Amino acid sequence: MTELHDLDATSQAELLSRREVSSVELVRHHLDRIEAHAEALGAFITVTADQALAQAAEADALRAGHEATQFLGVPTALKDLTSTAHVPTSMGSAIMRENVPTTDAYVVELIRRAGFISLGKTNTPEFGLSSYTDNDLVGPARTPWDPTRNAGGSSGGAAAAVAARLVPLAQGSDGGGSIRIPSSCCGVVGFKPSRGRVSAGPVGSDWTGLAGDGPIARTVRDAAALLDAMAHPMPGDLRPLPDPDIAFTDWAAREPRRLRIACWSDPYLPGIETSASSVAAWEEASRMLESLGHDVVDVVNPFPPELEPQFNVVWSSGMAAAPVPEEAIPSLRANTRYWMARGREASGVELARAIQFLEATTREVLASMNSFDIWLTPTLALPPQPSEWFTESGDPTEDHRRELLFTPFTAVYNMAGVPAASLPLHWTEATPDTPSLPVGVMLAGRPGEDGPLFSLLSQVEEAAPWADRRPPGPWTS
C-alpha cells in the first residue's frame, strides 16, 4: 500500500476530494514524520503543529460543505525568510530569534488562499546569504541522501523536507540559486520563476531584481501547481508580470513544440572546473533532449566573468541595508559580517553602476541568445558537500571562494531575470565510502516564458521519471 507521504500534493488533494482521507489525518501524518525526522535533517526552525491541525479541521469542515479549492487541506511549509503573521520568523539569525511578524508576505496569503496548510518554517542560513544552510539556531540542513552533507542553500530546509517526504512541496526563495542549489543537493524539483512573476509585497522588496519566491516539489506538476497559487501580482509591485493567461499546470500537461536548446557546461568564471558527475548529468540530459526531438547545440558560455564582482556589490549592499542594530553585529555569523562589511564599503554611485552593468550586460546576452528557446547547464559544479567544507578555513573570503567553486552556474539567471529549474536527472554511483548522491541539471527559458519551460520539464520527467526514488535512511519508511 502506498503511504500518504509517498504521494505528491496533487495525489493527496485527490484523496481529500474523494473523502478517502481527512485533512486532519493528512496533516497529523506529516507532523508525525516531522517529529521523527526533522531534527536529524535540520529541516525546520519552527513547527506550527497546533495551528496546522486547527486549520486542517477547518478545511475538513469546508470540504463537508462542498466549499473546497483543489488543494484545500494539503500540507506544505514556508521558508523562515518569509514573513508569516503570528509565527516566529527568525530569518535564520539568532538575533532575530524572538521576531514574530504581524503581517503575512503576500505569497503566504496566496498559498493559504489556495488551501495549503503550512506545518512550519523551514531552515535557512542567516538572512539567506549563503549557498549552504547553517545557522546558530538549529545548525545545518542536511540532504537525506547523505546526512553528513549539506542540503544546500538558502532554501535547504525546504528541499530536505520535501526530499524526506516530511511535506509534499514547499515554498522557497531564490536570489542567486537558493531554490535550485538545494533542489540539486536533495534530488527534487526546484523552479525559479521569471523576474516579477511572484510578488515581494507587502513589506518585502525586490529592488535588486535578483530575488523571488518559487516552488520546491518532487514532481513537475506539483511545482506548477504551487506556482499557480503564487503567481499573482499585488498593487504597488515594482515590476509585476500579469496573471498568466494559461495556468502553469495546463502548460505542464502540454507537449512542447520542437525546441532549439543551447548547452554549455563550463562556468562563466575562470579557474573553476565542473566536476565529472555534473558533466555526466549534463551530457545525459543533452542526449535525452536530442532523443525527444529537440535541436541541441553546444555553445560557449555567453555570460562574461565581469558580472561577478558587480553582482557582489548589489548582493552585499542588500545586507548592508538590513536593519541590524549596531550592538547586534558582533553576534552575527562571520559570513554575514563579511557581506555587511563589503556592502558598507560600496558607495551609492558604485551600487547604481553595478545595477546598470548587470542590466545592460544580461540584456546583451539575452539578445545574442534569442535564437534559442532553452538553455541547458549543470545546476552545480560539485555534488553535495559537507557543511564544514564551506567554513573550515575560518576565513569568510575563503568561504566565498568555495561557494563559487560549488555554484558558478545559478546566479547569472537571477541577473538575467529568466525562469530556471533544477531537475534530479542523475545520481552518482555509490562507493564503499560514499552513498549515491543526486546531481541536478538546469533548464532555463526566455524571460516571462515560465509556461513553455514547464511543458519541457514535464516531457523530461515523463522520459526519465524520478519521483519514486527514495533517499536511504529512516525517513523512507
Q: Using an 8 Å Cβ cutoff, are 156 and 124 in contact?
A: yes
pLDDT tens readout for residues 228-263: 999 999 999 999 999 999 999 999 999 999 999 999
Residue 215 is part of a domain; what is its CATH number? 3.90.1300.10
CB 117 within 8 A of CB 223: no
The residues that are catalytic are: 79, 154, 178
User: Hey, what's the cell of 285?
Assistant: 540530459
Q: Is the pLDDT of residue 206 over 90?
A: no
Residue 355 pLDDT exceeds 80: yes
Could you give the number of structural domains in the chain?
1
Instruction: Please report, rounded to a whole number, the percentage of residues in the chain having pLDDT higher than 90.
Output: 96
Rounded to whole angstroms, the Cα distance separating 194 from 299 reads: 23
Q: How confident is the model at residue 366 (pLDDT cuts 50, 70, 90)?
A: very high
Q: Domain range for residue 175?
A: 4-476
Residues 6+ apart with CB under 8 A from 453: 374, 419, 421, 443, 444, 445
Q: pLDDT band at residue 1, thresholds of 50, 70 and 90? A: low
Instruction: Evaluate whether 204 touches 234 at the Cβ level (below 8 Å).
Output: no
The CB density around residue 30, as the number of other CB atoms within 10 Å, is 25
